[in-house]
Structure 1
Amino acid sequence: MSIDTETAARVAKLARIKVEDDALPALANEFNTILGFIEQLNEVDVDGVEPMVSVEPMRLKRREDVVTEGDQADRILKNAPDAREGFFAVPKVVE
């Protein structure tokens, strides 16, 4: 796949990046370099390779999901500038 200057200009517009006309050939060349690298990565055989989250095989530490301090809604709502019916009240932002 090859990116021409027209496509580079369209990508820049979609990304809302102002690119001068004289800089479009260099941008198209950079896009082509990136796409070439991606095509090179697609040639790698990854059959049988398990997806990894990290380079170190580890498991996250877990803890019991237990409520330690509950039933404090009244204390929490005392800090609210506006609370109604047991909830924080916020101004309407969507018409």
Structure 2
Amino acid sequence: MLVTTEPGLETDEPCDVLHEEVPYVQGWMGANEALTALRKALEACGLKGCLPYARADVTVAGVGVVELGRITPETAGRLAALLARAYRADDDADGESRAA
């Protein structure tokens, strides 16, 4: 069986085979730490629990990834407004003006 594990990489091995030399745990831990930081930042902005399906994961190559999952349209709007405010605040701090 030919399994495509990542774009451009193909292997005859099943996708659930672990290799000692691949840092799966390290990759997952990095992703989990990033997700924890994101959740704390969102909670500080009044968006606690807005990413109910978010999870840390790792690719077959050991690269950590954060899957944000599905969110409601209301949550997407709140996140967009938060990012827009942060972008404008950065403009004000830099003394520059960027069209949003």
Same fold (TM over 0.5): no
The structure with the largest helix share of the pair is 2
TM-score, structure 2 normalization: 0.26
The structure with the largest strand share of the pair is 2
Structure with larger Rg: 1
Whose RCO is larger (CA < 8 A, sep 6+)?
2
